[in-house]
Structure 1
Amino acid sequence: MVAQEEFTVDLNKPLVFQVGHLGERYQEWVHQPIVSKEGPIFFGNDVLEFLTRTKWYAVPLIWLPVVCWLLTTSLRMGHSLSDVALMASLGIFIWTLAEYILHRFLFHINTTSYWANTAHYLLHGCHHKHPMDGLRLVFPPAATAILCIPFWNLISLFTTPSTTPAVFGGGLLGYVMYDCTHYYLHHGQPLYNPAKHLKKYHLNHHFRIQNKGFGITSSLWDIICGTLPPEISAKKG
């Protein structure tokens, strides 16, 4: 009986509907990065392809005005400037935890089935396969808008109607800081700490130990949860 030939991804063709066929070999394939600024083709459809590409500056341009509106909403509802600043700081802190949880437990989930592989590639796998693709490094605004709904509902569970906007606004500001920082760590050349340290820390996650170092804007939750890369753990010791 002749063994069936293993599926091979053709990098010159649209990738999204190919990668699922890798099955159990997908995780190994997606964590072997191709270091090139040339982004891959995702879809044969031009509209879908366009929707997957986002300039980094779209993130602050679109979301910072929303942050300002949310913070001023809590101000208009009777809270002082210092109260709003405190609530926004809480929102940023909550975002740092969300950033860690999403990156560790969702973005790095192990998948083997066709549709799970496909979804993972769209969500985060493409970034590990093509880490220097500048047009697919930040979240598309439409995807962010959809994700805002469950985050708003979650925050509203433990806040009041007048504090929810400021806390959520702080979380959204944390997201903007995260996405801009993430882009800079890949495409900037920081000369001084903490940016220089963060770049080394994040590239270590991409090219050396991909199951450690899930923090982007800081290593706080990696320290707390025990997911610091070994050499960094040694330095901390």
Structure 2
Amino acid sequence: MATETPHQSIRLFENDLLERLSHVHPITPLLFWGPVAAWLLWRGATGHDLGAGTLALLAIAGLVTWTFTEYLLHRFLFHFPARGRLGQWLVFLFHGNHHDDPKDKTRLVMPPAGAIPIMAVLYLLFSALLPAAWLDAFSAFFIVGYLVYDYIHYASHHFPMRNRVAKFLKHYHLKHHFSGQSGRYGVSSPLWDMVFGTRPAETPRDSR
């Protein structure tokens, strides 16, 4: 009986420790960021006595802000047209390797080593823009949006999607990889592609 050939990941670092940090089990983001989001939500809701209505609005704001952040990162950072050698390597490190090897299960969700500094910078940005009473709850729902994105991305590459919405998102993202067209930068939502005109027109074959 034939056996499946073990997947060989693209090596990103000569240093073995850095290389190990670039791989992550898909459950890791949930185990790491889930408690962080729960703690922030608890601290925000109890420490500032936020009502259900305020929490609902912050939930919508946090989730929508994540989809916008996801779009900006994917379009302008992960697909940055770098010209220098260092810039090209950084783009490949963050995202290019995924396009070269989209089936690598260990690089479909972001390792905490990369996500922590990004989240820290964003938290500082939110703290400068939001009232203190809203900061933690908003950040909690923002992190939930990030987790939803991570697992939609993972599932799009590795699971059949039966639900109509999930199936649409899977096909939408795979067209980003394999259609030969630029655009479709949204993974958890096509909203900002429609707003900014980066959703290519569907061909009859695409819409099947």
> Is 1:213 equivalent to 2:184 in the alignment?
yes
State the one-letter code of the partner of 2:116.
A
1:168 to partner: Cα distance: 1.0
State the one-letter code of the partner of 1:93.
V
Distance across 1 between alignment mates of 2:139 and 2:203 = 33
The aligned runs of 1:31-50 (5 Å cut-off) are 37-50=7-20
Deviations 1:120-163 (A, max 9, x none): 11111111111111101111112111111221122123311121
| Residue of 27, 36, 39 corresponding to 1:69 | 39
Partner of 1:179: 150
Size of the aligned set, in residue pairs, is 201
In structure 2, the CA distance between the partners of 1:172 and 1:139, relative to structure 1 (3 Å rule), is same
1:210 to partner: Cα distance: 4.5
The aligned runs of 1:136-175 (5 Å cut-off) are 136-175=107-146
Partner of 2:202: 231
1:40 to partner: Cα distance: 1.7
Partner of 1:15: none
The aligned runs of 1:69-218 (5 Å cut-off) are 69-77=39-47, 78-218=49-189
1:119 to partner: Cα distance: 0.7
Identity %: 36
Contact 2:181 2:200 in 1 (8 A): no
Contact 1:209 1:229 in 2 (8 A): no
Deviations 1:155-188 (A, max 9, x none): 1233111210011111111101101110010111
Unaligned runs of 5+ residues in structure 1 are 1-35
Distance across 1 between alignment mates of 2:27 and 2:124 = 27
Question: After TM superposition, where is structure 1 displaced by more than 6 Å over at least 4 residues in a row?
Answer: none
Contact 1:88 1:167 in 2 (8 A): yes
1:37 to partner: Cα distance: 4.6
Distance across 2 between alignment mates of 1:192 and 1:71 = 29
Deviations 1:71-124 (A, max 9, x none): 111112211233223212211110010111111111111112111111111111
Deviations 1:32-70 (A, max 9, x none): xxxx95322222322111111001110111111111111
State the one-letter code of the partner of 1:165.
D
Q: Specify the SS of the correspondent of 2:8.
A: coil
State the one-letter code of the partner of 1:55.
H
State the one-letter code of the partner of 1:180.
Y
Distance across 2 between alignment mates of 1:97 and 1:195 = 19
Tell me which structure has the larger Cα radius of gyration: 1
Q: TM-score, normalised by structure 2?
A: 0.90
Q: Specify the SS of the correspondent of 1:163.
A: helix
Which 10-residue stretch deviates more, 41-50 or 71-80? 41-50
Distance across 2 between alignment mates of 1:132 and 1:119 = 20
In structure 2, the CA distance between the partners of 1:93 and 1:222, relative to structure 1 (3 Å rule), is same
Unaligned runs of 5+ residues in structure 2 are 1-5
Pairwise CA RMSD: 2.0
